[in-house]
Amino acid sequence: MKKGDIVQGYVERVEFPNKGIVRIVEEDRNVVVKNTIPGQKLEIQINKLRKGKAEGRVVSILENSPIETENACPHFGACGGCVYQSVDYKEQLKIKEAQIKGLLDSVIDYEYDFQGILESPVHNGYRNKMEYSFGDEIKDGPMALGMHKRGSFHDIITVDGCRIVDEDYNKILRCVLDFASATGLPFLHKMRHEGFFRHLLVRKAVKTKEILVDVVTTTQYSCDFKELVADLRKLELDGRIVGILHTDNDSLADIVQNDRTEVLYGQDFFYEELLDLRFKITPFSFFQTNFLGAEVLYSKAREYIGDVDGKVVFDLYSGTGTIAQIIAPVAKKVVGVEIVKEAVEAAKINAELNGLTNCEFIAGDVLKVIDDIEEKPDLIILDPPRDGIHPKALQKIIDYGVDYMVYVSCKPTSLVRDLEVLKEQGYRVVKGCAVDMFPGTGHVETVCLLSRKAPV
């Protein structure tokens, strides 16, 4: 086998997050191919060979997997957002459960209670936040607004039939795209850094049904958005638009960044309700994108946290303080640390909104901030970003010597890396489970309870 060869094989399994292991019988070897489904027969081209490992890309799907059903989304396959849209949901859960169990078992060499995977209460239309990009599907083609084409940094597909959001998102997307196209102003070309329209941010609450719409542009041109505001307000929606915003972003990076935000209509926030608490959410503050799934995730985390009566709890990487506020009513005190200042301000507002006086939220890097906290924790909750915990910060956390920690992870490969360090320093996983927050995609959340004592 050499680079450029075209070969055929079956996908034996998929390792997290989307690495299909394709068996090439004639060559008696495996090839890693991304974005595949167990049981598919593929024609693939070898594009990498190094140190005995081979990687390839899909040329064509010769046979669908037995676990595939009809595609639920017209954009599936072309859009890079979803991997398992064509797979029966129960089979999706089996794939993810096996992936998480395999990852945990790779670092846990003792008995622990693996409690399987908890499913999302809704499988379609579950996302409460979408960041769409302006661009074109083909070079110099008409303006598009949507998601990146799979495997492409430049090409954008208009995803106005997307199934992981409800129909309100698709109506708003089409309305904004029609307006932007009619202005004649260009979208931002990523290589030349020239243009105007960059992103569309849409957020919607599940319980209150309140919607925020934010059009993100550069400052290279000016535009009158009065017509867009009028068009959006005329839309027949299931929810209710409470704010229409315009955000300036001149960053060279392809990210949704807030340099300045103008309120075109209404307000720059909306309210959501979760586990008997009320949250004020701003355009750029973090909140779990699957709200009903978040209730499942946080209920499981609360179960693992257990009795905190009279205890001081540290909620590190606390975001907008959701977990902190869920346990605050039964704890002595909760201290949240979060590096994003806007999220910390939101957490403070939400704690006041919910009448919680025993929460303290600190803005800063966990690595630097925890040295200055006077209280000592009885229990620590960890909910880090995708890259996991900085090694030096993890050591400082371990040095507190708490008996129990609860680790919530959005990237299990980062989790198992940190678990190795924790194991070396005397912590053991008592129990753990997966929570499917992202049906149709390869992503999954994991929750683990760790103890310095003998396993319960």
Residues with catalytic function: 410
- Residue among 402, 105, 111, 445 nearest 299 (CA): 445
Place of tokens 């992981």: 164
Buried b (16+ CB within 10 A) or exposed e, 224-244: ebeebbebbeeeebebebbbb
Cβ-based burial of 145 (10 A; exposed 0-12, middle 13-18, buried ≥19): buried
Rounded CA separation 190/282 (Å): 27
Buried b (16+ CB within 10 A) or exposed e, 273-294: ebeebebebbbbbbbbbbbbbb
Place of tokens 């167990």: 38
Query: How is 188-237 classified by DSSP, letter by letter?
Result: PBTTTTB-SEEEEEEEE-SSS-EEEEEEEE-SSS----HHHHHHHHHS--
- Residue among 347, 398, 349 nearest 370 (CA): 398
Query: C-alpha 408: how far from its chain's center?
Result: 13
How many CB atoms neighbour CB 208 within 10 A?
Answer: 16
Rounded CA separation 181/174 (Å): 10
Helix (H/G/I), strand (E/B), else coil: 111:
coil
Strands 6-15, 41-50: parallel, antiparallel or unpaired by DSSP?
Answer: antiparallel
Phi/psi at 325 (5° precision): -75, -25
